[in-house]
């Protein structure tokens, strides 16, 4: 099933997309032409209507927690599968993966909340780091 975003909801974010003749139609291309996928996953955009088209295969997938970026050259080469380094071992890769999961699950949500309210990091995050 292919994921799509309805035009009427995209129009709430982008006034230049307001078109009464397109309301309720597939606006996937227009949305992703202006936004990243993680916008849909944020709580403040829960009002967006994301649907599926039966019989279609989705070409857009959410990022998996701890996963390496698919952007070329965005990650160190030694993290890539099949790359051999005399300096970095499998233990380095496991540690890097564990750190990514920790950041994605513990630190980042708290950091976003603290960015919004201007307060220092939560005690739970500090304790999780110890």
Give the bridge partners for 2, in sequence order: 53
Higher pLDDT, 104 or 17: 104
Higher pLDDT, 61 or 118: 118
- CA-CA distance, 46 to 121, in Å (whole number)? 25
The pLDDT score that the predictor gives to residue 9 is 46
CA distances (Å), origin 109, targets 29, 67, 93: 28, 17, 24
pLDDT, average across residues 26-30: 74
Residue in 2, 87, 11 with CA at minimum distance from that of residue 53: 2
Q: Note the pLDDT tens digit of each residue in 62-118.
A: 777 888 887 788 888 888 877 888 999 989 999 999 999 999 999 998 998 898 899
The pLDDT score that the predictor gives to residue 21 is 61
**Cβ of 85: how many Cβ atoms within 10 Å?**
13
Tokens of 64: 């998996």
pLDDT bucket at 125, cuts 50 / 70 / 90? very high
Strands (E), 1-130: 2-5, 50-53
Q: Note the pLDDT tens digit of each residue in 43-52.
A: 777 777 677 7
Q: Is the pLDDT of residue 19 over 90?
A: no
- The model carries a pTM of 0.58
């Amino acid at each position: 099933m292919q994921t799509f975003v309805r035009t009427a909801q995209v129009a709430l974010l982008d006034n230049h997309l307001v078109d009464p003749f397109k309301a309720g139609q597939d606006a996937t291309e227009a949305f992703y032409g202006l936004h990243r996928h993680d916008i849909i996953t944020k709580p403040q955009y829960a009002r967006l209507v994301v649907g599926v088209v039966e019989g279609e295969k989705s070409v857009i997938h959410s990022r998996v927690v701890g996963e390496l970026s698919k952007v070329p050259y965005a990650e160190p080469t030694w993290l890539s599968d099949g790359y051999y380094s005399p300096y970095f071992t499998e233990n380095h890769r496991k540690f890097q993966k564990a750190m990514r999961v920790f950041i994605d699950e513990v630190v980042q949500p708290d950091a976003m909340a603290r960015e919004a309210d201007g307060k220092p990091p939560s005690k739970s995050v500090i304790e999780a780091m110890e």
